[in-house]
Amino acid sequence: MGRMGVTLAIIGAAATCAIAAHLVAKRVRQRANWSRALAIYHDFRDGCATPLHRLRQVVDAMVVEMHAGLALEGGSKLKMLLSYVDNLPTGEENGLFYALDLGGTNFRVLRVQLAGTEGRILQQEYEEVSIPQALMVGSNEELFDFIVAELASFITREGEGFHPLLGRQRELGFTFSFPVKQTSIDSGNLLKWTKGFAIKETVGKDVVEELQAAMGRHKLDMRVTALVNDTVGTLAGGRYWNEDVMVAVILGTGSNACYVERADAIPKWRGVLPKSGSTVINMEWGSFWSSHLPRTPVDDTLDADSLNPGDQVGFEKLISGMYLGDIVRRILLKMAEEAALFGNTVPSNLFIPFILRTPDVSAMHADESADLKEVTRVLRVVFKTQASLRVRKIVVDVCDTVAGRAARLVAAGVVGILKKIGRDTVGNIDMARLKNNLAGKGRKTVVAMDGGLYEHYPKFRTYLNDTAVELLGKEAAEQVAVELSKDGSGIGAALLAASHSQYSSD
C-alpha cells in the first residue's frame, strides 16, 4: 500500500471512529434526556398523588371550612353564600315561565309551559345569543339593553302551546353566573365580573335592578322573581324530577357546588327562618383551600401567569376544565425544554397558554389504539409536532395524572358536603331520613352533576365515581347516586321563578 493509501486508510478509520463516537454520544444524550424526562414526570406525578388518607384530610378540611363559612361572613375561603332559595320545585308548578341564563360570552333565553304533576313540562323553547365583545367591556346600560332587546324579541315569538295566564305578569328566573352578594331571592349585588367581562360601573350594583330598569326602558312587562347561580339552578332542575337531589355540582370550564342546608344550622342567618326549614347554600367552592391539597410547582406557575393570580388558587385551578389542558401543556413544556422530549427544538406552540384544551386531553387519555393514533393527531394539530411511541405514551400518562388528581379531589369535595349534612355513612343517612328535616325521602341521596367535564370526559367521570365509593365505603355509596343533570341551570331558573312566583299564594 502506498503512502496515499495509508493516509486514506488512517483518515477513513478516524472518520469511522468519529462517527461511532458521535453515535455513542448521541445515544448517551438520548438516554440521559429520557431519564431526565421520566424524572420530571415522576416528580410531577408524586406531587399530584391523592392517596386515600390524603383525600380524607381534604374531606375533613372541606367540612371545617363549610362550618366556618356558615358561621360568619368572611370566616372561610368558602363564601357559603345564602341563595334565599327556600322553596325548591316540587313538580306541582303550573303556568308559563321564562329564564335568562347569563354565564359567559353567550346567554340563553328560555320559556317553559308547566302543567303540574301530571303534565310536568309540556313544552319548552330556547335561543342562544352571542354577546359582542365591545359590550363586555362597555357600559352597564348598553349590556343590559342588548340582553333585554333579545329577550323581548324572543317573547314576541311565543308560539302555540305557550299560554300566559290572563291578568298575570310574565315572570323570569335570572341565572347569573358571576360572584354576587345575594340579599333576597330576587336581588343581589355584583361582587366582581369574571370570564372576560369588565364593566366597572356594574360592580356593587343590584343586577336584578339593572335588568328590571332595562325592561322598563324597553316597555317589557316582566318581573324577575328569582336570581340564581347556575349551580343553584342545576339543583332546582334536578329536584324538579327527583325529590332526593340534595347537592349539585358544576364541572365545566369552571366549577362550583351547592347543597340543601338546614336553616337553623346557619349561624350567620339574620331574620326569620324560612317556613320550609331549609335553604340552598351556594358554596363558591372554587376558592376552597387546604394545605392537604396536592399542589406542584407547575400549579404555582399556572396561577402566577393567570388573569387572576392568587384567586381560586386552591380548588378551581386544580379541578376545572379551563385549567386541566394547560397543566398538561406546562409539564410537557418543562420536559421539552429540560429533556428534549420532542427533539432538540421545542415546538413553538408549546409556549402558547391554553392552546391545549381539556377536550384534547380527554381524547388523548381515551386513546387505546396500539400506536396511539389520537395522541399523534392532537400533537400534530395542536403543537405542530411529532413524537415517538414512547413519548406518546408518557403524554397519556401526564393526562392520566392531571385528570385523576382533579377527579379524585372533586369526589373528596362531594363527600365533604355529604359528611356536613350527615349523608356520608349508613347510620347518618338513616338518621337524616328519620328526622326528615332535609327532604330527600327516598332510598338515595342524589348529587346532580352538570358540565362538559363530567359529561364528555369518560375517564374523569369514572375516576370521580370510583373515588366516591372508596371514600364512602361500598354500603354507604349504594345510598348515594351521582347523576348527570344536563343543561339544568337554565330550566332550573325557570322552575325557581315558578316556585317563588308572586302568585304562588293564589
Query: Could you tell me the three cell numbers for 155?
Result: 317573547
Question: Which grid cell sits at 31?
Answer: 438516554
Active-site residue (options: 177, 255, 278, 485)? 177
What is the spatial distance between Cα 415 and Cα 417, in angstroms, rounded to a whole number?
Answer: 5
130 among known catalytic residues: no
Of 181, 187, 184, the closest CA to residue 271 belongs to 184
Q: Is 177 a catalytic residue?
A: yes
- The cell numbers describing 262, all together, are 338546614
Partners of 173 in the β-ladder:
99, 226
Catalytic residue, candidates 230, 244, 299, 326: 230
Question: How would you class 184 by CB atoms within 10 Å of its CB: exposed for 0-12, middle for 13-18, buried for 19 or more?
Answer: exposed
Where would I find the beta strands (DSSP E) of 309-385? none
Catalytic option among 108, 330, 357, 405: 108
The secondary structure element, H or E, covering residue 139 is none
Tell me how far apart the 2 most distant CA atoms of the chain are, in Å: 118
Q: Is 303 a catalytic residue?
A: no
C-alpha torsion sign, points 56, 62, 64, 66: negative
Pairing assessment for the beta strands 245-251 and 445-450 based on DSSP bridges: parallel
E strand or H helix that includes residue 155: helix 140-156
CB atoms within 10 A of CB 24: 10
Contact 253, 215 (CB under 8 A): no
Distance CA 362, CA 373 (A): 14
The 10 Å Cβ neighbour count of residue 448 is: 28
Distance (Å, rounded) from C-alpha 502 to C-alpha 506? 9
* 305, 344, 504 from 348: Cα distances, Å: 18, 12, 60
> Which of the residues are catalytic?
108, 177, 230
